[in-house]
Amino acid sequence: MQETRYAICPLCDASCGISVRVEAGRIAQVRGDPADPLSQGHVCPKVAALADIHDDPDRVRQPLRRVGDAWHEVRWDEALDAVAASIADLQRRHGRDAVALYVGNPIGHSYSALLFGLLFQASLGTRNLYTANSVDSLARLFASVELYGNQAAIPVPDLDRTGYLLVIGANPVVSNGGTICAPGMKRRLTELRDRGAKLVVVDPRRTETALLASEHHFIRPGTDALLLAAMIRTILDGQSARSPATALPVQGIETLRTALKPFTPSAVSGAVGITAETIVRLATEFAGALSACAYGRMGTTVQEFGATTTWLIDVLNIVTGNLDRPGGAMFASPAVDLGRLARALGQIGRRGRWRNRLGGFDEFNGEIPVAALADEMETPGRGQIRGLLTYAGNPVLSLPNGTRIDRALGKLDLVVSMDLYVNETSRHAHWILPTSFGLEHDQYPLLFHALGVRNTAHYAPAILAKPPGVLHDWELFLELAARLSMRKGLPAGAWGRLLRATLSRLGPTRVLALLLRMGGAVRLADLERAPHGVDLGPLEPRLRAILDTPERCIRLAPPALVDDLHRLRNRLSRAPNQHGDTLSLIGRRHLRSNNSWMHNSLRLVRGRESCTLLMHPDDAGRRGLADGQKVVISSAVGRIEARLELSDEMMPGVVSLPHGWGHDRPGARLSVASAHPGVSVNDIVDDHGYDPVCGTSCLNGAPVSVRAAESAAPPAEAW
């Protein structure tokens, strides 16, 4: 039997609507859904790999227990009881923080896992909670708390109406955007240019996005805050007391003006690598545009000045009067109001209520930055992490100093992975608890609707049956939470049982229905009748409903960030090491790759090798290196070998390597990926490099040196 069903691609923030031909319970074909009001038929090459994951022979479809090197299939009851008993036992003997939880990126794509995960987290009661946030968007969340009082207040560029878009440290043509839901970026940016709007890209690499731009400027990694500070200073200098910003409820503009004094365009120009005249012109044009918007992503969040840079991006939008107005940076009005939900759940982004055991990091919203994880696992003493639970994450490849994480995982008393694969991380697990995936459960892009460049609401029921031996993520969370609260014999145990009984009877869909009803825009029943999704109109100003600061004002000059300007000023005296031995290492993404976990799809990995080190020909010439040659890349924490690819798309002094590769670790069960392993850039990214303001790891900008490998002969053919 064959039928066409509609669903939502769960792979990235774009959340494209898809039409899926299902034959005999399997995906026969996936296409973009032209009737989806937001994605309008757009999909990228990754979408075809959805079928590969669903059908992957390597996928884990029954709970596994590892004894030595051997994996044994076990029954769910046995696995759940044993895991709960081991967690409770470790916590009883060594304290509740002895068991840590790491939550990876895919949780963001499952509303049911997000909601029920909170319950599991509460039942675990550990302060050692880590997530991919601190290698991703923590700086963004931090800046939102400081400016607007709620981490859920994330402005998105009003792409389809703006007159001027400044993209700084993002490559949305490839990534399809992060912390923004705007499927079809290439089309949107082309239309932006076609209607006469300006697109400026600032990036140490002439990216696929830069190729669409009106202008592109190279920038030295980690110096964006200097550029932005000088632009804002220039704008404030030329602004009268009746600035556009004064129309917004802002506080602290004078403090800001004073704090930015030292950052003149000529003072920052040398460090940034952009002339003072260009900086002044960029500032003047941005301020003079009918509407304008600055947007930053991984290049501005996971670097030395992540929090400060993100704050200044918003400040630029605010002081030019471009926040909360059409064509500027706006807040979506999602059908489930995330800001309100965050408030109700106590998740607005409080911080500093505790620190990690070894010190150095404040908790943010209950989590500790991953920069602390390896130390917390390896340093003995009470509270040392002895057990790690991972949910939909692959820390061995995704976190800085992956080699060290790998080693530390091998020594833990308990590792439990709630995952689809025996991969680089879960090969260390004592237990793997497999879950359903993607189209096997219902979908509602809870987070991404709140980041939409247009207000839409889309619900899709499950369209594939889950394999009989797996649980839905939310079921797994409930089962573990219930067993844990019973084991621990907490007074909450009875409540836990009651809650579990109630919630499992309700199920996530009923909870979603309730949340939609509270939002008031649309009901679940309406969405069930609209398989392509519902259009709720263009973005509308709503700052006053968003603001959660006690003052009901935007805090333009929050002390934590203004104080960081001293550190930023010191950055000015650091000499650029362009012609020395050291190069600055940055990351990149590829259209056919998704973080660390989709390389087991043959159609995505075959063809030209993409895990190469990009370098400017001048840098190669100076080192006597040639295109295609194997090179050794060394840093303070490790060395890896990769194939060199020369290109003048790189800024001289900067090299780029993608992350998520390195599938040659023994014991993983990834038959395709292990034949196309690549190397893991995180083996040379230092876990002790982080932004001291918010604790985000510096994945971009690490100093490395590059030399020829011993066996330097270029390959006969790629792979």
Ligand X SMILES: Nc1nc2c(c(=O)[nH]1)N[C@H]1C(S)=C(S)[C@@H](COP(=O)(O)OP(=O)(O)OC[C@H]3O[C@@H](n4cnc5c(=O)[nH]c(N)nc54)[C@H](O)[C@@H]3O)O[C@H]1N2
Instruction: Give residues in contact with ligand X (CB under 6 A).
Output: 12, 104-106, 110, 132, 135-136, 168-172, 174-176, 178, 202-205, 207, 219, 221-222, 224, 297-300, 303, 391-395, 398, 418-421, 423, 435, 437, 473, 586-591, 593-597, 659-660, 681-682, 685, 699-701
* Token code pair at residue 583: 């190069």
* Token code pair at residue 13: 């923030």
Q: Would you say 151 or 398 has its CB closer to ligand X?
A: 398
| Partner in contact with 676, chosen from Mo ion, ligand SF4, ligand X, none, beta carbon below 5 to 8 Å by kind | none
Q: How far is the CB of 464 from ligand SF4 (least distance, A)?
A: 16
* Token code pair at residue 209: 């996005």
Q: Which segment (4-12, 156-164, 294-302, 533-541) binds ligand SF4 by CB under 6 A?
A: 4-12
Helix (H, G, I), strand (E, B) or coil at 293: strand
44 scored as a contact of ligand SF4 (CB under 6 A): yes
In 3D space, the residue among 85, 107, 71 whose CA is nearest the CA of residue 480 turns out to be 85
12 scored as a contact of ligand SF4 (CB under 6 A): yes
Q: Would you say 123 or 394 has its CB closer to Mo ion?
A: 394
Give the separation between CA 176 and CA 411, rounded to whole angstroms. Answer: 38
DSSP per-residue letters across 510-557: HHHHHHHHHH-S--HHHHHT-TT-EEEEE----HHHH--STTSSEESS
φ/ψ (deg, to 5) at 712: -90, 5
| Partner in contact with 43, chosen from ligand SF4, ligand X, Mo ion, none, beta carbon below 5 to 8 Å by kind | ligand SF4
Give the separation between CA 248 and CA 42, rounded to whole angstroms. Answer: 36
Q: How far is the CB of 333 from ligand SF4 (least distance, A)?
A: 22
179 scored as a contact of ligand SF4 (CB under 6 A): no
Please, what is the end-to-end C-alpha distance for the chain in angstroms?
39
Give the separation between CA 47 and CA 18, rounded to whole angstroms. Answer: 9
φ/ψ (deg, to 5) at 646: -90, 140
In 3D space, the residue among 545, 657, 690, 659 whose CA is nearest the CA of residue 205 turns out to be 657
Give the separation between CA 572 and CA 173, rounded to whole angstroms. Answer: 32
Q: Would you say 14 or 98 has its CB closer to ligand SF4?
A: 14
The binding site for Mo ion (CB under 5 A) comprises 136
**Hey, how many other C-beta atoms are within 10 angstroms of the C-beta on 237?**
13
In 3D space, the residue among 540, 479, 27 whose CA is nearest the CA of residue 333 turns out to be 540
Burial group, residue 362, by CB count within 10 angstroms (0-12, 13-18, 19+): middle
Give the separation between CA 498 and CA 482, rounded to whole angstroms. Answer: 9
| Partner in contact with 204, chosen from ligand SF4, Mo ion, ligand X, none, beta carbon below 5 to 8 Å by kind | ligand X
Q: Would you say 91 or 436 has its CB closer to ligand SF4?
A: 436
Q: Would you say 173 or 405 has its CB closer to ligand SF4?
A: 173
Give the separation between CA 420 and CA 451, rounded to whole angstroms. Answer: 27
Q: How far is the CB of 650 from Mo ion (least distance, A)?
A: 23
Q: Would you say 217 or 325 has its CB closer to ligand X?
A: 217
Among 7, 20, 27, 43, binds ligand SF4 (CB under 6 A): 43
15 scored as a contact of ligand SF4 (CB under 6 A): yes
183 scored as a contact of ligand SF4 (CB under 6 A): yes
Q: What angle do CA 427, 595, 695 make, to 5 degrees?
A: 90
Q: Would you say 136 or 406 has its CB closer to Mo ion?
A: 136
Q: Which segment (6-14, 53-61, 218-226, 505-513) binds ligand SF4 by CB under 6 A?
A: 6-14
| Partner in contact with 232, chosen from ligand SF4, ligand X, Mo ion, none, beta carbon below 5 to 8 Å by kind | none
135 scored as a contact of ligand SF4 (CB under 6 A): no
16 scored as a contact of ligand SF4 (CB under 6 A): yes
Instruction: Name the site residues for ligand SF4 (rule: CB under 6 A).
Output: 9, 11-12, 14-16, 43-44, 46-47, 176, 183
